[in-house]
């Protein structure tokens, strides 16, 4: 009878056990981003390392981009999704300019970001987005998003691989959490720190994160968006520069909006 028994599956190499096959469309590319709003400026920063697992893909990949004369976007998570999201939002902003002969406000860009992210509700962009810039009445603004579009305006926000390292430090230094003013002293008001202090905190946040988080390092790109008519002496004055720090003004993208955007870059540890 054994002659008529069907051969076992494993006997035939062409019929080897069913292979489980799955394509994973997502990846995680490390890095970290951070934005802090001031009274008349906003700082939006990100490191430049792009990694996958324990491997470094490049030591210089951008994740912070100038969108308009008063808005900068930073994305973190899956680099392909982040880059594509920035590309599409830039296209939408161009169409808006054609239709309305003006640049979109940061508030409107925030709502647009929400609808674009939520439009992919069931196949999300794996990207944590932070918008930073100047709002309609000239004050610094930071908007942070989750990958499907839930958003909130805040005074500061960190996201990415080092979010858990940076955010408690920012809570303490920006929101003055767990601190009490000395008797008779001015009460603490978040979002009113001078640019020099904020720059120091951003750089310290990233050098700290570089020490303890392997996905963060290589370089720091830091965008400063300044209100119309605000002095730039506290940034471009040469005595404010720390070692290896470069400051470059980015030209206006639109016409007439006299907000100014600066790109500050400096190296971080590469190990």
Q: Which is nearer to other proteins, 134 or 161 (CB)?
A: 161
* 249 counts as binding other proteins under rule CB under 8 A: no
Among 94, 196, 204, 237, binds other proteins (CB under 8 A): 204
* 165 counts as binding other proteins under rule CB under 8 A: yes
* 173 counts as binding other proteins under rule CB under 8 A: yes
* 162 counts as binding other proteins under rule CB under 8 A: yes
Q: Which is nearer to other proteins, 146 or 171 (CB)?
A: 171
The three state secondary structure string of the chain is CHHHCCCCHHHCHHHCCCCCCCCCCCCCCCCEEEEEECCCEEEEEEECCEEECCEEEECCCCCEEEEECCEEEEEEECHHHHHHHHHHHHHHHHHHHHHHCCCCCHHHHHHHHHHHHHCCCCCCCCEEEEEEEECCCCCEEEEEECCCCCEEEECEEEEECCHHHHHHHHHHHCCCCCCCCCCCCCCCCCCCCCHHHHHHHHHHHHHHHHHHCCCCCCEEEEEEEECCCCCCHHHHCHHHCCCCCEEEEECCCCCCCCCEEEEEEEECCCC
Among 58, 91, 164, 258, binds other proteins (CB under 8 A): 164
* 211 counts as binding other proteins under rule CB under 8 A: yes
Q: Which of residues 39-98 bind other proteins (CB under 8 A)?
A: none
Q: Which is nearer to other proteins, 96 or 175 (CB)?
A: 175
The torsion angle over the Cα atoms of residues 249, 198, 65 and 41, rounded to 10 degrees, is -70
Among 37, 209, 215, 235, binds other proteins (CB under 8 A): 209
Among 28, 97, 146, 171, binds other proteins (CB under 8 A): 171
Among 168, 181, 194, 237, binds other proteins (CB under 8 A): 168
* CA pair distance 46, 186, nearest whole angstrom: 33
Least gap, CB of 169 to other proteins (angstroms): 4
* 178 counts as binding other proteins under rule CB under 8 A: yes
Size of the site for other proteins (CB under 8 A): 19
* 182 counts as binding other proteins under rule CB under 8 A: no
Least gap, CB of 204 to other proteins (angstroms): 6
Contacts with other proteins by CB under 8 A lie at 162, 164-169, 171-173, 177-179, 204-205, 208-209, 211-212
């Amino acid at each position: 009878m054994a002659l008529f028994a069907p051969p076992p599956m494993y006997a035939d190499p062409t019929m080897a056990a069913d292979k489980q096959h799955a394509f994973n469309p997502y990846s995680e590319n490390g890095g970290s981003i951070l934005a802090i709003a001031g009274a008349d400026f906003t700082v939006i920063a990100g490191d430049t390392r792009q990694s996958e697992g324990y491997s470094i893909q490049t030591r210089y990949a951008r994740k912070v981009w100038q969108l308009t004369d008063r808005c900068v976007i930073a994305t973190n998570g899956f680099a392909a999704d982040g880059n594509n999201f920035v590309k599409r939002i830039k296209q939408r902003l161009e169409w808006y300019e054609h239709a309305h002969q003006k640049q979109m406000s940061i508030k409107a860009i925030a709502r647009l970001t929400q609808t674009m992210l939520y439009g992919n509700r069931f196949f999300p962009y794996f990207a944590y987005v932070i918008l930073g810039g100047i709002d309609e009445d000239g004050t610094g603004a930071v908007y942070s998003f989750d990958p499907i579009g839930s958003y909130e305006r805040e005074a500061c926000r960190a996201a990415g691989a080092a979010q858990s390292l940076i955010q408690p430090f920012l809570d303490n230094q920006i929101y003055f959490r767990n601190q009490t003013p000395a008797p008779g002293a001015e009460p603490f008001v978040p979002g009113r720190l001078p640019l020099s202090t904020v720059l120091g905190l951003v750089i310290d946040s990233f050098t700290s994160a570089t020490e303890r988080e392997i996905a963060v390092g290589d370089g720091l790109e830091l965008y400063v968006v300044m209100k119309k008519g605000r002095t730039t002496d506290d940034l471009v004055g040469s005595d404010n520069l720390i070692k290896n720090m470069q400051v470059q003004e980015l030209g206006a993208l639109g016409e007439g909006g006299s907000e100014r955007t600066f790109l500050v870059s400096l190296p971080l540890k590469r190990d």
